[in-house]
Chains A and B, each alone.
Chain A
Amino acid sequence: MAECHPVGFQWVMEAKARGAKVIHIDPRFTRTSALADVHVPLRAGSDIAFLGGIINHVLRTDAYFRDYVVAYTNGPVILREDFQDTEDLDGVFSGLDPDSRSYDPATWQYRGVDVQPASGQRDQQFDKLNGSPDVTEAARGESHGSGGPTIPEGEPERDETMTHPRCVFQVLKRHYARYTPEMVERICGVPQDLFRQVCDLVTENSGRDRTTAFAYAVGWTQHTVGVQYIRAASVLQSLLGNIGRPGGGILALRGHASIQGSTDIPTLFNLLSGYIPMPHAHERQDLDAFVRADAAPKGYWGNMRAYLVSLLKAYWGDAATAENDFCFDYLPRLTGSHSTYETVMAQLDGTCKGYFLMGENPAVGSANAKLQRLGMANLDWLVVRDFSLIESATWWKDGPETETGELHTEDVGTEVFFLPAAAHTEKDGSFTNTQRLLQWHHQAVPPPGEARSDLWFTFHLGRIIREKLAASADPMDRPLLDLTWDYPTVGELAEPDAEAVLAEINGHDAEGAPLSGYDRLADDGSTSCGCWIYCGVLADGVNQADRRTPGDVQDWVAAEWGWAWPANRRVLYNRASADPDGRPWSARKALVWWDAEQGEWTGHDVPDFKKDKAPGHLPPKDATGPEALSGTDAFIMQADGKAWLYVPAGLTDGPLPTHYEPQDSPFPNLLYGRLRNPVRHLLPPHADNRYQPGAGEPGSEVFPYVATTYRLTEHHTAGGMSRWQPYLAELQPEFFCEVSPELAAERGLTHTGWATIVSARAVIEARVLVTDRMATLTVHGRPLHQVGLPYHWGPNGHSTGDAANELLHLSLDPNTHIQEAKAFAVDIRPGRRPRGPAARELVLRYRARAGIDAETGTEM
């Protein structure tokens, strides 16, 4: 966190100054470790075993927060008789279809009642809920059509004593029983006494009086089981009662400024604004059928129709009417995964012909960078908007494939347009950070030369396209022509007014007055709102994100600094900070509570609960939506109002986090007979995307070292914002790898000398830093050396080097389609890599030695 989020780390330092203990769990000793109380080096790719070990410790020693677990989690809920755990099936859950390599999640449901997920794969039950068997051909992950009986109504069956053998709590206990300290030591390389120290620190600091927070970044997400890493933390934090309370939570540290904003108002293919799922391609799917299938009947997602209709009104204004289903049919439909890696595959096979890169440098920053470049070389046109001539803009004349002879400039047909971009200091706008806080920023200086903001580019591109299509009678063009695309522009550059966009996002009523909050949204077309969770950011017509009341003149919640979605709540699900009767769990950790005299929820933060819903409230049997939540259903977005220790719906790869080895790993799976995540997302075979043999198979010893990629403080992701800055370039002037003195001795690597690093995909070279900060671990009883690879570099700019991401494969997390950049296996040897065609020959020799073919590593 100190490495990549130094500004946010000031708050960790402040907590530390007030007595907080900081534990840093990372394969490397980093700047964060330097300031932490405890550093736990572990094998990259083994975190579920580690977290599972803590979960087991918590359950075995009864260190969980029982009152919290019973009241606010699904621990007491009884599961179906036909659910089978990985303990029963040696590493897989019930419902696995070996042919499609996917799970039918039906057996994971609660007994007697099916619930809808509040996030993830929310279209899983479309057919069941709409009574139509038209299973689409959409790729797994995006669709789980399955026929079945109509869903029984009612509440899940519960055992408040949590002793029923099929209740979630008992299933959880059995699932993690073998995640012992001994197992953690063997799998993760964490000595048992160090592991116990972490368990003690976490459990002693959780409960009524104390809370523990987890902060993570892509070290957790970028795995073939990335979502399950986060789920493991969710299970642990729910057991310990650390959600919805001050000082608790699980914080996703994002990779760029406003990456949170880019999922809230998404650039993701499978989401609409405010986490409304993108519709899938079903036959006979109108607005009602979509809402019926994808919105839970209970909780605040029960109002999805109001959020969606208001969004459609924001998109299409007067053209969206009740008669035409508010233009629901204008929305694109998903036919499968359309992630960045499928897009590359579509480029390679010629179906994707045009590509916009806006502040993104995939020729350096994406997994298997070579495939990214080869994909771009097969386009008709490419638009790159960035500050400098990044590698993604120049690969056609000076990329690695030009050197190896795999690409010849004169043969590349792609027309490349480079358009300089304005920096955040050169435009107005907002950032949304990990705690959902929107902070407005103002233009400080005009952009230089021809540089323009993304808003300017997008608006004027849309304007010009609409002008060109104005006379079109083709129904395909109606969604574009009917768009509300009327933002006022200001100044010489005709810059769209960013606050006008914010006003559209906030939404307005039929009279055009700004809405004060999402509870005002209606499903009849009388309100318009570009993102329901942001509704209220312009309450009273005031830009609430632009508030800058200093911390020392307001209370510790600091509600007047910026604006947090939703409704300026600083802690989500904060009803859980009070006990079932509405009293704070302790005075020390009081956040919101029930004021019986006034008959309302009150406290330091904005209560995340209906203001006048009493703790003892029981909803009428026929209630739906928010009205169906009881006075103790603290997790108001969830279909059952509870935090999920176990996920009955919404995930593609299982209801409970389970340790699988990474796609490329030198170690077998000590816990199960199944090596890798059986439903990981493997892209179609490609000659430049070969996988490595699994442990125990011949050839696996060719890649004996675990490698991981990461960032340094001095550079920003793929380098577009830093490698061209002399002041940053001189701080980390070239690509290097980090190895332990033991590995250096084993492979003859010298400090500041060169190393060649090889995977089944590529070969790169790096300067060597030999450092004690890379600890040699004892894993599976043998020494393991890990190779650290910061991934900022490419050949352009002031600070240069090979791109670490050349080494990566495209085996992805099946839920998010994210690459496994944080744990893979390599070989490392002294000296510089071969140049020209010899570089590719070296990779081919390695493949031959390891016996790699198209099938290697693709076993389920």
Chain B
Amino acid sequence: MTDDIVRAAGHTDPPPRMGFFTDTSVCIGCKACEVACKEWNAIPEDGLELTGMSYDNTQGLGASTWRHVAFIEQRAPAPGAASGTGMEDVDVFDAARGLADSPAPSADGGEMRWLMSSDVCKHCTHAACLDVCPTGSLFRTEFGSVVVQEDICNGCGYCVSACPYGVIERRPDDGRAWKCTLCYDRLGVGMEPACAKSCPTESIQFGPLEELRERAADRVQQLHAAGVGSARLYGEDPGDGVGGDGAFFLLLDEPEVYGLPPDPVVTTRDLPGMWRHAAAAAVSLAALAVAGFAGRRR
């Protein structure tokens, strides 16, 4: 099924769809992925700011950050308690105003836990960025990944608002959109992406998506058997709102805890319907106009 999108993009005899499985349960937060990505792709340094967000001074994915390691310090939920942020009642805008003065509040009780997770472009099966790109700068590669061609991008920014994960971004200096290419240039010569190559603990695994999904399912079972009941996959389900991600994750808590949207939907999902409505409206208008003229003539 996932081959379909590749064939639909015009690749007649594609290799298997490739992707990332990021197993955050073994991430040690070394950020080798961030550095390797920047080195290989010649991405500029983008800010020397001590954020106070634990050891995360990168802050998030963006035009000049294609891998981002999140650090979440928390008290693990006590056994039996519901997982999640535990902050559903918090006024986030109010909390954001206080960020500079105090660390995130920590609930007492559970054991100290420090979650680390390397985020990346999801290379969606149904990629809204690609749908909305007016120049054809964004395209689907033969490996199933979604890549921006920087020499074609005109900087319109439609893709930025279309991405359900907030991944793609324009660089302030040249206005063009940038994001992870799944190291398209490396894949072409049989190498794995730089981040996966540099990961010392195999937290970032690269390979054929089908194989990664099997591996991930095994890993979840293994963790459940070892008593880590909170282990779950994120973005691996072809039935989700983006048709499954080409880069999916094993998380140890709710996606929101890692700053990931819980139920992402391809923002262009309703476009056909919208176009149908628009077309119907246009036909009605045209009919009315015709009717008007017709009436006058009469």
Contact = CB atoms under 8 A, between A and B. Distances in A.
Interface stretch (A145-153, A405-413, A502-510, A768-776): A768-776
A358 to B, nearest CB: 26
Interface string A13-40: 1000100000000000101111100010
B34 A29 contact: no
B57 A733 contact: yes
A730 B112 contact: no
Given A728-B35, A731-B58, A6 B30 contact: yes
B50 interface: yes
B12 interface: no
Nearest to A798: B48
Contacts of B46: 730
B25 to A, nearest CB: 9
A621 B130 CA distance: 85
A764 to B, nearest CB: 16
Contact of A727 (B38, B73, B112): B38
Given A2-B30, A9-B200, A750 B102 contact: yes
B114 interface: yes
A773 B112 contact: yes
B57 A713 contact: no
A769 B201 CA distance: 27
Nearest to A5: B200
Contacts of A712: 55
Contacts of A741: 103, 106
Given A34-B113, A732-B57, A771-B103, A713 B30 contact: yes
Given A726-B45, A727-B45, A732-B55, A773 B50 contact: no
Nearest to A770: B103
Given A751-B102, A751-B103, A713 B75 contact: no
B114 A773 contact: yes
A351 B191 CA distance: 57
Interface in B82-131: 100-103, 106, 112-116
A734 interface: yes
Contacts of B202: 10, 13
Nearest to A801: B50
B145 to A, nearest CB: 23
A819 interface: no
A534 B127 CA distance: 57
Nearest to B38: A727
Nearest to A39: B112
B256 interface: no
A10 B31 CA distance: 14
A772 B50 contact: no
A817 interface: no
A6 B201 CA distance: 8
Nearest to A799: B48
A731 B116 contact: no
B52 A769 contact: yes
A451 to B, nearest CB: 19
Contacts of A729: 45, 48
B114 A29 contact: yes
Interface string A718-737: 00000000111111111010
Nearest to B102: A751
B281 to A, nearest CB: 50
A7 B200 contact: yes
Contacts of A31: 28-30, 114, 116
Given A732-B57, A772-B75, A34 B114 contact: yes
B273 interface: no
A752 B50 contact: yes
B47 interface: yes
B26 to A, nearest CB: 6
A785 to B, nearest CB: 16
Interface residues of B, number: 38
Contact of B29 (A34, A752, A775): A34
A767 interface: yes
Contacts of A9: 28, 200-201
A769 B35 CA distance: 23
B13 interface: no
B32 interface: yes
Contact of A731 (B28, B31, B201): B31
B49 interface: yes
A789 to B, nearest CB: 15
A714 interface: yes
B54 interface: yes
B52 A731 contact: no
A9 B29 CA distance: 12
B211 interface: no
Contact of B101 (A32, A726, A750): A750
B127 to A, nearest CB: 28
A799 B57 CA distance: 12
Nearest to A728: B35
Contacts of A751: 52, 100-103
Contacts of A734: 48, 50
Contact of B54 (A17, A767, A771): A771
A727 B34 CA distance: 8
A726 to B, nearest CB: 4
A802 to B, nearest CB: 14
A713 B31 contact: yes
A747 to B, nearest CB: 15
Contacts of B101: 750-752
B185 interface: no
A577 B45 CA distance: 51
Nearest to B69: A731
Given A31-B29, A35-B28, A733 B49 contact: yes
Contacts of B113: 34
A799 B35 CA distance: 16
Contacts of A34: 28-29, 113-116
Interface in B1-51: 26, 28-32, 34-35, 38-39, 44-51
A732 B116 CA distance: 16
A714 B31 contact: yes
B201 A13 contact: yes
A790 to B, nearest CB: 11
- Of B45, B58, B106, B113, most A-chain CB atoms within 10 Å: B45
Given A2-B30, A13-B26, A31-B116, A733 B48 contact: yes
Q: Point out which of A7, A731, A750, A773 has the most chain B C-beta atoms below 10 A from its C-beta.
A: A731
Most buried by A among B34, B46, B55: B55
B234 to A, nearest CB: 19
Pick from A31, A728, A730 the residue with the most CB of B within 10 Å.
Answer: A730
A714 B49 CA distance: 14
B201 A10 contact: yes
A771 to B, nearest CB: 6
Nearest first, the 5 A-B pairs at minimum CB distance are A726-B45, A733-B48, A34-B114, A752-B52, A6-B30
17 contacts: A31-B30, A31-B114, A32-B28, A712-B55, A713-B29, A726-B44, A726-B45, A730-B47, A730-B58, A731-B35, A733-B47, A733-B49, A767-B50, A772-B73, A772-B112, A773-B112, A775-B112
Interface of B: 26, 28-32, 34-35, 38-39, 44-52, 54-55, 57-58, 73, 75, 100-103, 106, 112-116, 200-202
Given A7-B200, A31-B114, A772-B73, 16 more contacts: A2-B29, A2-B30, A13-B28, A31-B30, A34-B29, A34-B113, A39-B112, A727-B35, A731-B31, A731-B35, A732-B57, A734-B50, A736-B50, A769-B52, A770-B103, A775-B112
Interface of A: 2, 6-7, 9-10, 13, 17, 29, 31-35, 39, 712-714, 726-734, 736, 741, 750-752, 767, 769-773, 775, 798-799
